[in-house]
Amino acid sequence: MFKTFYPKEYYSSTYVIDFRKYYDMGFRTILFDIDNTLVTHGAPANKKAIRLFERLKTIGFKICLVSNNKEPRVASFNAKVKADYVYKAGKPLKKGYLAALDKTSSDIEHTLFVGDQLFTDLWGANKLGIYSILVKPIDKHEEIQIILKRIPEKLILFFYLRKHKLIK
């Protein structure tokens, strides 16, 4: 029942993912959520995010930010990481992901999505068949609408972790 929300993989942070491994597996594009995936909510791109994007580009990845935020937020973050971006993406609807694939001239089969929310980020990626990676949120302080979504997410994550024998 919950499998439509399950990530392919789950990491403690975006910054611990071995992206070289995914490149070696044939992935060529990474779509990222911004808030609580790369930085805390509303924060500008920090040195860690900038270094990550530089390293990913050196590996050979195309990168696109896919955010439900308005353009000023996304554009200001992107000014330092210099990637493609889609704002007001409407996640979990497919349109934002498809726009990102179009911007990067990519296909579903060779694309990863990295995000921190099951009901927006992962659900949308999964509906299209994009390889989805869930990361733990960077900050526990979130807007009320996100806090409310975290409650049922905990239940889904419990079953996901149990299924994958990550908890006993």
Q: Give the tens place of pLDDT for each residue, 66-79.
A: 999 999 999 999 99
Q: Is the pTM of this model over 0.85?
A: yes
Q: In what order do the strands lie in the sheet with 111-115?
A: 9-11, 131-135, 111-115, 29-32, 62-66, 84-86
Between CA 13 and CA 46 the distance in angstroms is 15
Q: Give the tens place of pLDDT for each residue, 90-135.
A: 999 999 999 999 999 999 999 999 999 998 999 999 999 999 999 9
